[in-house]
Amino acid sequence: MEYVYLLALGVGVGAFGTIIGAGGGFILMPILLLAYPEKLPKTLTAISLAMVFFNALSGSYSYARMKRIDYKSGLLFLMTGVPGAAAGAYLVKYIPRHVFELVFGLLLLAVAAYIFIKTFNGAPRSHGRWSTFKRTIVDAHGTRHEYAFSLALGMAISFAVGLASSILGIGGGIIHVPAMVNLLDFPVHIATATSHFILAGMTLVGTLVHVIDGTLGRADLPELIMLAGGAIAGAQIGAALSRRIHGRWIMRSLAAALGVVSVRILIPGITAVFFSR
C-alpha cells in the first residue's frame, strides 16, 4: 500500500509541477521528511531531486512536441545555472543558513504577493534598450510568440537561481518562472516549458552527483521507482492541462506555490533567529 501512495503522490506532484514549470520538489520534500523520519535528510533530498529529473524529462518531452521550449535561451541559461548550482553546493557550509532562510523567505513571500495581486494580461512588455536578445517561437498550434530580453540579465538570474537552489534544496523552477515572466518578458507558457527543460538539465547533474557520492543508492530504488513512475505520468497530465489553463491562472498557481515555499523556508529561519538562545 505504501508504494501505491508513493505512485499517487508522484502523479499529483508531477502534474502540478509541470503546469507551473517548477518540478514539484518543493512539495515532495516536506512530505518525504514526515513520511520517512528514519532516513537522512540528504538521502530524501537526493530522492526528491531524482524524481524532479524524471518529471522534468517527461514534461520536456511533451512541451517539445508542443514546440513551446526556447532551446537557445534554455541552453544559454544552463551555462550559468549549472555553475551556480555547483557554487551553491560549495558555499552552503560557509553561509549561516538561518540568516539566508529568513531573508530569502521574506523575498519569496513578497514576490508571491506581487504575482498574485498583479493582473497578468500576457501582453508583451519591454524593459528598454537592454532587451536586445530577440526570440520568436511558433508553437505546434501555430501561435506566434515574440519577445526580447537582456541576455546578460537572464544568465545572471540563472546563476542566482542555481545558487539559491543548491543552498536551499528547492527546485529552481519555482524562482525561475516568475523571473522569466516578470523580468525577462517571456510569455507564460514559453517560460514554464523552457523552465522545465532547464530543470531537466540541472537536476540530471545533481542526481548524478548524488549517485556518484553514494547519497542515492540501491536501498532507495523502490521509493524512487514509484515516485518517478508517478511523476512521469503526472508530467504528461500536467502538460496536457496547461493547454487549457490561462497564463493568469498558471501565474497565480505559481504565486500560491511560492507562498508555501516561503513559509517552509521562513519557519526554521525565524525559529533560529528569535527562539534559539
For cell 504528461, name the residue.
236
Any bridge partners for residue 147, and if so which?
A: 135
pTM: 0.80
Is residue 174 a contact partner of residue 265, using CB atoms and an 8 Å limit?
no
Query: pLDDT per residue over 189-246, tens digit each?
Result: 899 899 989 988 888 887 888 888 888 888 888 999 999 999 999 989 988 887 777 7
* CA atoms 154, 159, 161, 162: torsion sign: positive
Between β-strands 144-149 and 133-138, what pairing exists: parallel, antiparallel or unpaired? antiparallel
Instruction: Name the E strands within the chain.
Output: 133-138, 144-149
Question: Who wins on pLDDT, 98 or 15?
Answer: 15
**Local structure of 152: helix, strand or coil:** helix
Distance CA 209, CA 173 (A): 20
3-state DSSP percent of the chain in helix, strand and coil, to 5: 75, 5, 20
Query: pLDDT per residue over 103-143, tens digit each?
Result: 767 777 877 777 777 644 445 455 556 778 999 999 998 99
